[in-house]
Amino acid sequence: MGFLEIKGLGKVHYHEYGSGQKLLFAFHGYGMTGKQFSILENSLLKQHRVIGFDHFFHGTSVLDNGTEAYVLAGMQPDLLKAYLTTWFKQFGEQRFSLIGYSIGANMALFLLENFAEWVDEIFLMAPDGLAEHQGLHFLRASFIGKKIFRKLTYSSWMMVLALKLLNKINVIDHSLYIIAYHEIDTPTKRLNAYYTVNFNKTIRPDIEKIARLINLNNIRCQLYFGQFDNLFPESNSKKFLSLLNQPELHVLPLGHWLITAKLDQYIAKQTNDYQQQEQIIL
């Protein structure tokens, strides 16, 4: 583990794990850290050396400017690109792959858009970024939505009530509800949620451009969804999939909480089958 010091942004903490040789930059979901993918020990970790970044307001990454005004303005996209340019300056340019879960997938997509010629594969797990999430867009972009979001954040009970309502009307699945409930049960956690959603709002990947780059550079693209995920469902990927030459879509009998031992087992078997098919072709 270590830190990347990025000028104009802050200290980005990263975890390093995995026994493989291939470099894999990893971007976790809300409420987790860069170690989230360590559970994939029987699959991806055998093939990759994972560099898992902590998002700001998670783990131990720290902004130089932590004022609310700075955070609510959103992260400058060039500063996300600086994650990799800074890494390359320290450790040398090298080919790599990307993995992103939920909100982290949005960041992985953006980096592929800007570093496609260096990318071998991308793994998108229950990804944000393939289609506009209307609820999140309302909360962080509209005048009324921003007012409501702020009110929910600073209330001791309103966000919990709103979460229960979202679960009741099936906007989120029950597994996500349980996890999210424990991520908003203190004022600090609610503020971190508010800051995370707003700070990342400026990272907006161009899906059509990304699809062209994947096809042009022969980047292997694998997408994984939970069958019962109502937050970022498989249906969000239809347009993106239609633009790809060789997409690989996997739907598991899970909810949004996808990074589990079951996923590890699934990918391990999938990888073994894929390698056997390659040997037959050769």
Burial of 232 (0-12, 13-18, 19+ CB in 10 A): buried
159 assigned to some structural domain? no
Cα 103 from Cα 57, distance rounded (Å)? 13
Q: Is residue 168 part of a domain?
A: no
The set of residues, in sequence order, having a beta carbon less than 8 Å from that of 176 and lying 6+ positions away, is 229, 230, 231, 255, 256, 257
Beta pairing, strands 10-17 & 48-53: antiparallel
Q: Is residue 108 part of a domain?
A: yes
- Is the confidence at residue 278, as pLDDT, over 90? no
Cα angle 78, 52, 136; round to 5: 60
Beta bridge partners of 10: 6, 63
Q: Average pLDDT over the chain, rounded to whole?
A: 93
Q: Global pTM?
A: 0.92
- Residue 169 is assigned to a structural domain of this protein: no
Q: Do the Cβ atoms of 49 and 76 come closer than 8 Å? A: no
Give the residue, 132 or 278, on which the prediction is more confident. Answer: 132
Residue type at 177 in one-letter notation = Y
pLDDT at 282: 58
User: Is residue 160 situated within a structural domain?
Assistant: no
pLDDT score of 3: 96
Residue pLDDT, tens place only, 245-261: 999 999 999 999 999 99
Q: What's the rounded mean pLDDT across residues 106-123?
A: 98
Has residue 101 got a pLDDT over 80?
yes
Query: Is 220 a member of any domain?
Result: yes
In a domain, 139, yes or no: no
Identify which of 236, 243, 100 has the alpha carbon closest to the alpha carbon of residue 251. Answer: 236
Low-confidence winner among 12-16, 27-31, 118-122, 149-153 (lowest mean pLDDT): 149-153
pLDDT tens, residue by residue, 148-177: 889 989 988 888 888 888 888 887 778 778
Distances (CA, A) of 139 to 69, 133, 145, 245: 17, 10, 4, 35
Given a cut of 80, whether residue 281 has pLDDT beyond it is: no
pLDDT at 36 over 90: yes
> In the chain, pLDDT over 70 holds for what percent of residues?
98
pLDDT at 139: 82
Q: What is the mean pLDDT of residues 40-58?
A: 97
Count of domains forming the chain: 1
- Exposure string for 24-48, b = 16+ CB within 10 A, e = fewer: bbbbbbbbbbbbbbbbbeebbbeeb
| C-beta separation of 39 from 259 below 8 A | yes
Q: Output the domain CATH number for residue 222.
A: 3.40.50.1820
In a domain, 193, yes or no: no
Host domain of residue 121: 2-132+204-281
| Inter-residue contact 236 to 12 (CB < 8 Å) | no
pLDDT category at 279 given cuts 50, 70, 90 is low
